[in-house]
Amino acid sequence: MATSPRSPPGAPPPPEFEISRQSRLLAAVRFPEDIALLGSLSKKVIDLDELRMLAAQGVPDGAAVRPTVWKLLLGYLPSDRALWEQELAKKRSQYAAFKEEFLSNPMEIARRQELEGQGSENTGSIDNGLLHRSEVTQEEHPLSLGKTSAWNQFFEYSEIMEQIDRDVKRTHPDMQFFCGDSSFAKSNQESLKNVLIIFAKLNAGIRYVQGMNEILAPLFFVFRNDPDDKNANFAEADSFFCFVELLSGFRDNFCQKLDNSAVGIQGTLSKLSQLVAKYDGELQRHLEIITEVNPQFYAFRWITLLLTQEFNFADTIHIWDTLLSDPDGPQETLLRICCAMLILVRKRLLAGDFTSNLKLLQNYPPTNISHLLYVANKLH
């Protein structure tokens, strides 16, 4: 049987391969704006304003470009494609250093330092990797309370690490990607834990707040499912930096000291109330004055968890396409979507009392996401 000739190693793919690849991509899209998005991504220097405008209308699922689009929207990838490889290598190396510094337990650190300091000629002073009692300094002692003590820092974060472990195990229990006994699911859980622990140690003012796992999950899911295996294998590192960037726009919502300030979560909830009053005064009065259903009763979760708990996972991904596309950060878009959610169920809310309205908003009904985003965009 005849076989097709093979290209030599390192040679560029034959023209028919590129044509086939482009055909597959185009077959995955259905609308002119999807084709425009693919065209925007193919440029040597990507026009971020154009990309944001196109991505806000939705990223096609079948074209396998969402990982790249999100990294660009979050500023993780530079607009110049020629710089991508260099920038990714630098960031991934930096994350590897973070893991080395923050995920090693004190025993491993002490053993490594001893080996590095003594060299091969003095290894006789170590038995099975353990320091002799006389060689353990006060700062290296497990009961040391010194601020620079690795053990003290380890125990200080142990409670946070336990909370992260519990929350990660509860992340999307209905999805085999996150939960289950498979090695794949366990590996994904481990990656989520690593990112959250490192974030907590690098951000002492916030550390870890319950629910951050839900914000990290969509990022990691999208990056781990990148069709490029090399990128997929570095999903943990890429997710970390994108998670940091995403949370930078919502940082004050997670700072308990700022809860009651204008920039804290109460200030954000107040902005939502003002937005509803602007576009539907009757609804705002009925909710907050007549039935006394204030935004903190239902929108606290909407805002702090970026709507990850209100819709199924696939719909959340589509909502995030729009959220991440806002050049001023996702918070203003998030508030418009929350306002649109109220407007879409206004008839039921106007007919309801405190109990029925609270139940409705705490268990938001299934809705057409495209229509929801359309209404939210009209509030812009």
* For range 277-287, the mean pLDDT: 97
Domain boundary among 249, 283, 304: 249
More confidently predicted of 280 and 61: 280
The pLDDT tens digits for 54-104 are: 999 989 887 689 999 999 999 999 999 999 999 999 999 999 999 999 997
Token pair of 234, please?
Answer: 């570095």
Shared domain for 196 and 270, answered yes or no, is no
Domain presence at residue 3: no
Shared domain for 301 and 160, answered yes or no, is no
Residue showing tokens 């009925």: 286
Pair 41, 68: CB distance under 8 Å:
yes
- Name the β-bridge partners of 130: 127
Max CA distance (Å), the chain:
82
Shared domain for 219 and 267, answered yes or no, is no
Q: Which CATH number is 234's domain given? A: 1.10.8
* For range 248-262, the mean pLDDT: 65
Q: State the Cα–Cα distance between residues 197 and 69, nearest whole angstrom.
A: 26
* For range 266-273, the mean pLDDT: 93
Residues 6+ apart with CB under 8 A from 320: 70, 218, 306
Residue showing tokens 């509030």: 379
Exposed e or buried b per residue across 258-288, where buried means at least 16 C-beta atoms within 10 angstroms of its C-beta:
beeeeebbbebbebbbebbbebbeebbebbe
The pLDDT tens digits for 102-160 are: 997 655 555 555 555 555 444 444 444 444 444 545 555 454 445 555 555 666 778 89
Q: State the Cα–Cα distance between residues 45 and 43, nearest whole angstrom.
A: 5
- Phi, psi dihedrals of residue 45, rounded to the nearest 5°: -120, 115
- For residue 252, what pLDDT is reported? 66
Domain presence at residue 152: yes
Judged against a pLDDT cut of 90, whether residue 250 lies above it is answered with no
Q: State the Cα–Cα distance between residues 373 and 338, nearest whole angstrom.
A: 10
What are the CA-CA distances from residue 210 to residues 162, 194, 206, 305, 334 (Å)?
11, 15, 11, 10, 20
Domain presence at residue 17: no
Range in 124-138, 276-290, 360-374 the model is least confident about? 124-138
Shared domain for 184 and 262, answered yes or no, is no
Find the domain containing 157 and state its range. 31-104+148-249
Q: State the Cα–Cα distance between residues 235 and 1, nearest whole angstrom.
A: 42
Shared domain for 154 and 190, answered yes or no, is yes
Mean pLDDT of the chain: 83
Q: State the Cα–Cα distance between residues 372 and 128, nearest whole angstrom.
A: 62
Helix count (H) and strand count (E) of the chain? 20, 0
Shared domain for 211 and 313, answered yes or no, is no
Domain boundary among 227, 249, 271: 249
- For residue 261, what pLDDT is reported? 58
- Phi, psi dihedrals of residue 91, rounded to the nearest 5°: -65, -40
* For range 184-189, the mean pLDDT: 97
What are the CA-CA distances from residue 276 to residues 216, 273, 298 (Å)?
29, 5, 14
Per-residue pLDDT band for 207 (boundaries 50, 70, 90) equals confident
Shared domain for 209 and 266, answered yes or no, is no
The pLDDT tens digits for 304-346 are: 999 999 999 999 999 999 999 998 889 999 999 999 999 999 9
Q: State the Cα–Cα distance between residues 362 and 302, nearest whole angstrom.
A: 9
The burial of 48, by beta-carbon neighbours within 10 Å (0-12 exposed, 13-18 middle, 19 or more buried), is given as: middle
- For residue 188, what pLDDT is reported? 98
Q: State the Cα–Cα distance between residues 311 and 363, nearest whole angstrom.
A: 10
Domain presence at residue 10: no
Pair 125, 267: CB distance under 8 Å:
no
Judged against a pLDDT cut of 60, whether residue 371 lies above it is answered with yes
Residue showing tokens 């704006």: 33
Pair 91, 237: CB distance under 8 Å:
yes
Number of domains in the chain: 2
- For residue 148, what pLDDT is reported? 54
The pLDDT tens digits for 9-50 are: 444 444 443 434 444 444 444 566 778 888 999 999 999 999
* For range 350-371, the mean pLDDT: 97
Domain presence at residue 130: no
Range in 189-198, 248-257, 315-324 the model is least confident about? 248-257
- For residue 111, what pLDDT is reported? 57
Domain presence at residue 18: no
Tell me which amino acid residue 46 is: I
Shared domain for 216 and 306, answered yes or no, is no
- For residue 7, what pLDDT is reported? 41
Pair 218, 67: CB distance under 8 Å:
no
Shared domain for 200 and 78, answered yes or no, is yes
